[in-house]
Amino acid sequence: MAQVAITNVAKAFGTVKVLHDVSVDIADGQFVVLVGPSGCGKSTLLRMVAGLESVSGGTVSIGDRVVNNLPPAKRDIAMVFQNYALYPHKTVEQNMAFALKLRGTDPAVVAERVKRAADILDLNPYLKRYPRQLSGGQRQRVAMGRAIVRNPQVFLFDEPLSNLDAKLRVQMRTEIKELHQRLKTTTIYVTHDQIEAMTMADKIVVMRDGRIEQIGAPLELFDRPANLFVAGFIGSPA
């Protein structure tokens, strides 16, 4: 596990600035939620931590390394997206093993890691199935399994539950939290859903228009919002 430091980070696409002087410190093992309206820059910030977007200013560190110029594969992170495309022609087992095999990991290690992920996520009955034979929640768990097998230092989630129905969303929220309590992997979780932020986060980062409005524990933001935007955003139902 590792701490993540985002320090005075800026991002511009051409002449359009979408992030301004953003700083967030994430402690080892912490579960931090980035929340804010659509378009405020959450995904861009997460993608910069992942190495999928370049940094226009400031630094991103993972552990004790500044990673601004490191490619995604060297950052020791694993990302779970909203549209977690599983390989349709591979079984659950093969989907989870694929990234490790690609890296030339020893087959015995691959098998052991896949088994551990399947145990953690209750996927053992489904290992030989194909994605089309799974429910939405099961597919989501396979997507998480693919992240877990890599034993990353940091998990990055970008609105992983947005495509699920309300009931399943509640269930998966609990599963992701339990996963975190078990593995204690440092996590950055992006959502536009206040309820998700309030129920899952150790620490919430409220963003608006490429800036941070407030950072604090869920109850802190609820009890002492820094301004009307935070009060309205955290206080209003999803």
Residues forming contacts to ligand ADP in the complex (CB under 6 A) are: 13, 18, 36, 38-44
| CB closer to ligand ADP, 142 vs 197 | 197
We find the least distance from the C-beta atom of residue 82 to Mg ion, in angstroms, to be 8
Taking CB within 5 to 8 Å according to partner kind, which of Mg ion, ligand ADP, none is near residue 18?
ligand ADP
We find the least distance from the C-beta atom of residue 40 to ligand ADP, in angstroms, to be 4
Helix (H) or strand (E) holding 10: strand 4-13
| CB closer to ligand ADP, 81 vs 130 | 81
We find the least distance from the C-beta atom of residue 219 to ligand ADP, in angstroms, to be 24
Token look-up 């552990």 returns: 63
- How many residues belong to the chain? 238
We find the least distance from the C-beta atom of residue 156 to Mg ion, in angstroms, to be 12
Per-residue binding letters, 4-43, with Mg ion (x by CB under 5 A)? ---------------------------------------x
Token look-up 């500044």 returns: 66
Strands (E), 64-140: 65-66, 77-80
| CB closer to ligand ADP, 76 vs 159 | 159
Report how far residue 185's alpha carbon sits from residue 148's, in angstroms, rounded to the nearest whole number. Answer: 10
Phi, psi of 208 (to 5 degrees): -150, 130
Helix (H) or strand (E) holding 174: helix 166-183
Q: What is the DSSP letter of 93?
A: H
Phi/psi zone of residue 93: left (φ > 0), alpha (ψ -120 to 50 degrees), beta? alpha
Of residues 41-60, which lie at the interface with Mg ion (CB under 5 A)? 43
Residue type, 59: T
We find the least distance from the C-beta atom of residue 50 to ligand ADP, in angstroms, to be 12
Taking CB within 5 to 8 Å according to partner kind, which of Mg ion, ligand ADP, none is near residue 169?
none
Tokens of 184: 């204690």
Report how far residue 92's alpha carbon sits from residue 17's, in angstroms, rounded to the nearest whole number. Answer: 41
| CB closer to ligand ADP, 36 vs 131 | 36
Taking CB within 5 to 8 Å according to partner kind, which of ligand ADP, Mg ion, none is near residue 13?
ligand ADP
Q: What is the DSSP letter of 135?
A: -
Q: Which residue is nearest to Mg ion (CB)?
A: 43
Taking CB within 5 to 8 Å according to partner kind, which of Mg ion, ligand ADP, none is near residue 87?
none
Judged on CB neighbours under 10 Å (0-12, 13-18, 19+), 115 is: middle
We find the least distance from the C-beta atom of residue 89 to Mg ion, in angstroms, to be 29
Binding site for Mg ion (CB under 5 A): 43
